Amino acid sequence: MQQTPLMLSAILTHAAMAHGDREIVSRLVDEPLWRYDYAGLARRAGQAASMLHRLGVRAGDMVSSLAWNTHRHFELFFAVPGIGAVLHTANPRLSDEQIIYTLNHAGSGVLLFDRNFLALVERLRPKLERIHTFIMLSDAQRTEPGTVGALSYETLIADAPPLTDWPQFDENAGAILCYTSGTTGHPKGVLYSHRSIVLHAMAAGLSGAFGFSAFDCIMPCSSLYHGTAWGVPFTAAINGCKFVLPCDKMDGASLQELIQNEGVTFSGGVPTIWTMYLDYLERTGEDAGKLERLVIGGSAVPRVMAQKFQTRYGVSVRQLWGMTETSPLGVVATPTPKLEALGQAAADEVIWTRQGRLQFGIELKIVDESGRELPHDGVSSGNLLVRGPWTVERYFRSETSALDADGWFNTGDIATLDANGFMRITDRSKDVIKSGGEWISSIDIENIAVGCPGVRIAAVVGVTHPKWEERPVLIIEPHDGVEICATTVLGHLEPHIVKWWIPDAVIIDTVPLTATGKIDKKRLRDRYRSYLLDLETGETSAASL
């Protein structure tokens, strides 16, 4: 059989040839809605590739973006890897220090950014070690050079001849670099290869996963900078779907405008976005247009959300579990004949409460503390390990493998697996909080909080929040005989951490320890799980706030 390398440029060339006139629509920062098609995408991505080449970008070089879900960012998904360079999609939700770290660690020489990141880029610039060229993803008249001397993307590509003869090289070459900030310490880079992205995109389109067809109109509401928006852009291009990009406007009214006007049939994103959309529908009494399917993941999908979408709006919710380290497709909750035979109510119950079912291309297993594999009985829960061609092998620039001796990656999640191949997350062994789809490091906050005079132990746990899924609360045990108040602790934290990391509550309490003297996070999580919800309903005294 032929040894054709799996290249991202092949997706672009195929899209232009097989469904070149299928439409792509993009919102932009301060510009009118943009419309073109896959043939236009191929032409402009080719121009962007030539432009980057002119600027001196070569195979193996790194190029960074700080950009929203727009057609220009989508063009970079092909232009940069297409010439053998790597696109690092920097995450603007990280703290300044973390963004600086990722840009320096990636080692990019060129940064392309959206207009509303100019102030951020100017602020970061003195600490950026390698970046020599700044390009604003904007047209000529709206480009502001700022103190970084930004060039206009549109001006630069206007006279660049479109590259059509994309080079062929090793399919294992790096294509897109994405950093995850799950745990304490610096963010860690996961470098997706051409091969891993193509295989992932083909698998994600299958009917047991996203199930895309040429009739679909797809709008990704997970960020292009976070795990390539779950690979959706590539899967849409392979399948000839109409593609709609919402820029940074993820509020209910803005999403509804695109869903209604463009005929969106499929979308996906973290639960927080869909909570806002549901609120919008309920407030206005409008319907969800042609929307048929939503893939929601990144955090657990509340059962009531899936149920409301299905029963009130006829939209079926498929939960997805995945990680930056798994590109991110892990499992997706889609129906099977066996489930349907149990009757609609029973099938819905499984689909609404499980993270998803096994997909071809990614193996899952659960093990106990000693590494012994546990049965798929839906009850035994253990550490969730994964393995497969789009799972990380080692972090970017790391000398050591991230896998165990048998090639399994430990996800830091605790899960059950059942006989029908459905996985359910029951807990998390990694000490982090996920708020609105982005990580907050409990350990980082604790380290700062213990520096506050009078604090003996500081423990941060994630508790349920109606909008953000999880928010941090800080439990403080003061030194004996010391009176400490929440305001003092918050005042101590504020200068050191980004605003959205500030805990929603500071509780003065004793902190339980495990037998080995570690903070017993599980007991704290159980104790305070509904603390913020109870605060809202007045069932918790606000005295601790």
Binding region for ligand ADP (CB under 6 A):
180, 182, 226-227, 297-300, 319-324, 328, 355, 411-413, 425, 428, 434, 437
Q: How far is the CB of 242 from ligand ADP (least distance, A)?
A: 24
Supply the minimum distance, in Å, between the C-beta of residue 142 and ligand ADP: 31
Q: Is 112:79 a contact under the CB 8 Å cutoff?
A: no
> At 243, is the secondary structure helix, strand, or coil?
strand
Amino acid at 377: D
439 within 8 A of 433, measured Cβ to Cβ: yes
Contact 348, 382 (CB under 8 A): no
Cα 473 from chain centroid?
A: 23
Q: Active-site residue 13, yes or no?
A: no
What is the spatial distance between Cα 446 and Cα 214, in angstroms, rounded to a whole number? 50
439 is catalytic: yes
Distance CA 416, CA 427 (A): 10
Q: Is 325 a catalytic residue?
A: yes
| Selected catalytic residue, list 274, 390, 439, 501 | 439
Cβ-based nearer residue to ligand ADP, 174 or 298: 298
User: CB 145 → ligand ADP: shortest distance, Å?
Assistant: 34
Q: Over the Cα atoms of the chain, what is R_g?
A: 24
Closer by beta carbon to ligand ADP, 13 or else 223: 223
**How many CB atoms sit inside 10 A of residue 120's CB?**
15
| Residue 162 beta carbon to ligand ADP: minimum distance, rounded to whole angstroms | 33
* 291 vs 432, beta carbon nearer ligand ADP: 432
**Residue 439 Cβ vs ligand ADP, minimum distance, rounded to whole Å:** 6
* Shortest Å distance, C-beta 223 to ligand ADP: 9
CB of 303 or CB of 523, closer to ligand ADP: 303
| Residue 122 annotated to the active site | no
Strands of 246-328, DSSP E: 266-269, 293-297, 316-322
DSSP labels for 396-445? Answer: TT-SS-SB-TTS-EEEEEEEEE-TTSEEEEEEESS-EEEETTEEEEHHHH
Q: How far is the CB of 62 from ligand ADP (least distance, A)?
A: 21
Nearest to 163 by CA among 11, 61, 13: 13
Q: Which residues contact 249 (CB under 8 A, 6 or more apart)?
A: 27, 255
**Looking at the DSSP assignment, which residues form a beta bridge with residue 144?**
none
Q: For residue 435, is it left (φ>0), alpha (ψ between -120 and 50) or beta?
A: beta
Active-site choice (13, 180, 272, 411): 180
Choice between 82 and 182, CB closer to ligand ADP: 182
Per-residue tokens: 469 = 């899924």
> Of 413 and 444, which has the nearer Cβ to ligand ADP?
413
Question: Among 75, 154, 262, 325, which one carries the catalytic annotation?
Answer: 325
Q: Considering beta carbons, is residue 22 or 428 the nearer one to ligand ADP?
A: 428
Catalytic residue among 235, 434, 468, 469: 434
Cβ atoms of 233 and 283 within 8 Å: the answer is no
Strand-pairing partners, residue 269, are 296
Q: Which residues are catalytic?
A: 180, 325, 434, 439
